[in-house]
Amino acid sequence: MAVLETRELIIDIPERADGRPLSLRMEPGQTWGILGPNGAGKSTLLHTLGGLNRPRSGEVRIDDTPLRQMRRSTIARQLGLVFQERQDGFPATVLETALIGRHPFLSPWQLEGGDDLEMAEKALERLELSDLADRSVSTLSGGERQRVALATALTQSPSIWLADEPTNHLDLRHQVAVMELLSEQARAGHTVVMCLHDLNLAARWCDHLLLLYPDGEACWGEAESMLKPKALEQLYGQPLTWAEVDGAPVFVPS
Ligand SMILES: Nc1ncnc2c1ncn2[C@@H]1O[C@H](COP(=O)(O)OP(=O)(O)OP(=O)(O)O)[C@@H](O)[C@H]1O
């Protein structure tokens, strides 16, 4: 279990003003959604949280240790990344790819053991991929590949999940299944952070939200206080109509 914290963080987007420094704590058990229009910097923020992009200023900490003082191998044991870029040409099967999730825990040249295999198989089962275990990833559909990426992170079982549009390419049923999976991870004490384009998924499954504006302005807090129609209309530059369904707000473009 781990706390992910940013202190006066300014992400580095070329030619953009600093905007509001981000100082927030993402704690075990919480599910954070990062919302914002195209180009607002959601992916850049996620990459910065993962230590893949250098911040312009400020810092990211895991359990009070600055990321820049941590070895990449230590970070890899804590952070699970589900990002958009995929090495699609990589000649590996679905099972071999899921097993990559265990690599941060193995020493160099150490082969995966029975426990690792069991974790990978369970993750494939959870993502309904067992039947595709021996298929080459390069032959999969977009949604199947997305689920392989999630299964790889699940095999890793990281303290902190960083997922960039985890429901990308997924049909409705799998969108719900993946949001349920991420909620389940949070309930088990993991910290879950994801970028989302779908306001309604965010409203239903995230308990904390960070709204990122194209000029670098931002606000964050408990989901209920962030899901204000006026603020969301301003965020997306889009009038919205809203209603409440089963206790959660639902937004549609007007
Ligand atoms: N290497 C780069 N050089 C110049 N500009 C960049 C570079 N990388 C990203 N940007 C710009 O930074 C801004 C933020 O990009 P980012 O991918 O983080 O946005 P996003 O909110 O995730 O967008 P989307 O919703 O479209 O995925 C964009 O305007 C993008 O063009």
Average pLDDT over every residue of 11-22: 94
pLDDT over 70 for what percent of the chain?
Answer: 98
Pocket test for ligand 1, best of 42, 162, 167, 195 (most atoms within 8 A of CB): 42
19 ligand 1 Cβ < 6 A: no
For CA atoms 189, 193, 196, 198, the dihedral sign is positive
36 ligand 1 Cβ < 6 A: yes
Q: What is the pLDDT of residue 64?
A: 94
pLDDT band at 156 (very low <50, low <70, confident <90, very high): very high
Average pLDDT over every residue of 99-121: 87
Q: What is the pLDDT of residue 108?
A: 77
Q: What is the pLDDT of residue 86?
A: 65
CATH of domain 4-227: 3.40.50.300
Average pLDDT over every residue of 49-71: 95
Query: Where are the domains positioned within the chain?
Result: 4-227
78 ligand 1 Cβ < 6 A: no
For CA atoms 78, 84, 90, 95, the dihedral sign is positive
pLDDT band at 87 (very low <50, low <70, confident <90, very high): low
Please provide the average confidence, as pLDDT, over all residues in the chain.
94
69 ligand 1 Cβ < 6 A: no
pLDDT at 88 > cutoff 60:
no
15 ligand 1 Cβ < 6 A: no
Atom of ligand 1 nearest to the CA of 44: 18
Average pLDDT over every residue of 226-253: 93
Instruction: Give the model confidence (pLDDT) of 179-226 as tens digits.
Output: 999 999 999 999 999 999 999 999 999 999 999 999 999 999 999 999
41 ligand 1 Cβ < 6 A: yes
